[in-house]
Amino acid sequence: MSQQKKFAIKIVRGKEIRLMHLMPSTWVELQVSLKNMYGTSDFHITYIDEEGDHITISSDMDLSEAYKNYNTKPSIKIYIKPRNIIKEFEDLKIDEPFQKSQPSSEPKIENNKCSENIWGRFRKGGMRGRCHGMWKMFRGTPYFRQMKEQMKNMWKNKSGKGLKDYKIKVIKKGFPKNWVVSCGNTIVITWSVMNKGIKSWTEGSVIEDFKGPLKLLEPVVISEVKPGEVCNFSINVQVPIEQGMHKGCWVLLVDRECAGILRAKIIASAETKNLKVDTLVSMGFNREIALKALKENNGDLNLAVSKIIRGC
C-alpha cells in the first residue's frame, strides 16, 4: 500500500470509543491491532462514507478506500461489532408460522331454539318493541318532564354549576344592532336586564368600565334589584374620535363581586370629526395639530382649542 496521510483512528464499539495509537497500513495490521486492544479480531468492521452509508472493511483495498474517504479530515472512525451477534441475528428464523385462532367450540344458538325462551323473544323485537312504546308514552307525560328538570338541577348543584348568588341576564337591548354614531359624541346605551341570581343587587352597586375603547363618563350607581326583577340600565359613553367599529364591555359589581358583563358595539362615523377638524382649520390651526388635539380631548372642540393655544 502506498504511503498514506497520518490519521487519528477512533475505534467505535457501541457507546465506547477508543483511540488506536498506531495507524495500520494493511488489513492484517488492523486485525492485529484490534486483537491487542480487545483480545479478539473477530469483528465486523465498517466505516461511514460521504453519503452516510456503512461500508464494510474486509481487505487492503477497503482500508485504502476508507483512508481516501477521510483524506481531508483529521481522524477516521472505524465501527466494529462482534460477528457472533450478527450471525445470531441472521440465523434467527421463525420455525412455525402463526396459526389462526381456532373457531369457538361452543355451539351457535339456532333461531328456533332462541324463540323458545324469553331472550329469544326479546331478540326478535317483541318485548323490545313493547318497552320502546311504553318509554315513548312515559316520555310525553308531565311527570317525566318534572323529573327530568329535578335531575338536571340536582346534577348542576353537584357539579358546581347551580344557581349563583349574583347573575345577570340581558332581556332586551335599547340600541340597534349596527348602531352608527358620530365620532366624539356622547351617547346613552340602555339595557333591560333581569336578576337571575339568588341574592338581591344591593343599593349602591355600580357599573364600571371593564375593557374596550368605549369609556364611561362616570360610574353608574344602581338601586336595589331583587331576584327575578327586571330593571333598565343606562350609561353615558364617550365615542372615540377614530372612525370605525368600537366595542365596549362594562361590569356590574355587587358588593365588589362580579354579577355579569354588559356589552355593546357601535360604528363611529367621520361626519362630526371632519366638521370639527374643518372648524379648527378655518380658525387658522394646522390640520394635523387639530386632529391630534381632538383625539386627546375625546372630540371636545373647546378643550381642543384650549390645548392648541396652550401648546402654542
3-class state of residue 45 by DSSP: strand
pLDDT of residue 177: 81
Which pLDDT belongs to residue 130? 54
Condensed to tens digits (0 to 9), the pLDDT of residues 134-146 reads 666 666 667 677 7
- What pLDDT, on a 0 to 100 scale, did the predictor assign at position 63? 85
Helix (H) or strand (E) holding 79: strand 75-82
Question: Which of 246, 292, 238, 248 lies closest to 268, judged by CA?
Answer: 246
Q: Kindly report, residue by residue over 10-33, the tens digit of the pLDDT.
A: 888 888 888 887 788 888 888 888
pLDDT value, residue 72: 77
Nearest partner of 167 among 256, 254, 234, 263, judged by Cα: 254
pLDDT of residue 110: 47
- Grid cell locating 43: 469483528
The sheet with strand 54-56 has its strands ordered as 16-20, 8-13, 75-82, 43-48, 54-56
271-311, which class in CATH? mainly alpha
Name the DSSP letter for residue 285. Answer: -
Whole-angstrom CA distances from 196 to 150, 248, 262 are 18, 23, 14
pLDDT of residue 39: 85
Asked whether the beta carbons of 69 and 49 are under 8 A apart, the reply is yes
- pLDDT, residue 193, reads 92
Low-confidence ranges of the chain (pLDDT < 50): 1-2, 88-89, 92-124, 158-162
CATH class, range 8-89: alpha beta
Domain borders along the chain are 8-89, 168-269, 271-311
Question: How is domain 168-269 classified at the architecture level of CATH?
Answer: Sandwich (2.60)
pLDDT of residue 136: 60
Predicted local confidence at residue 106, as pLDDT: 44
Q: What helix, strand, coil percent values describe the chain, rounded to 5?
A: 35, 30, 35
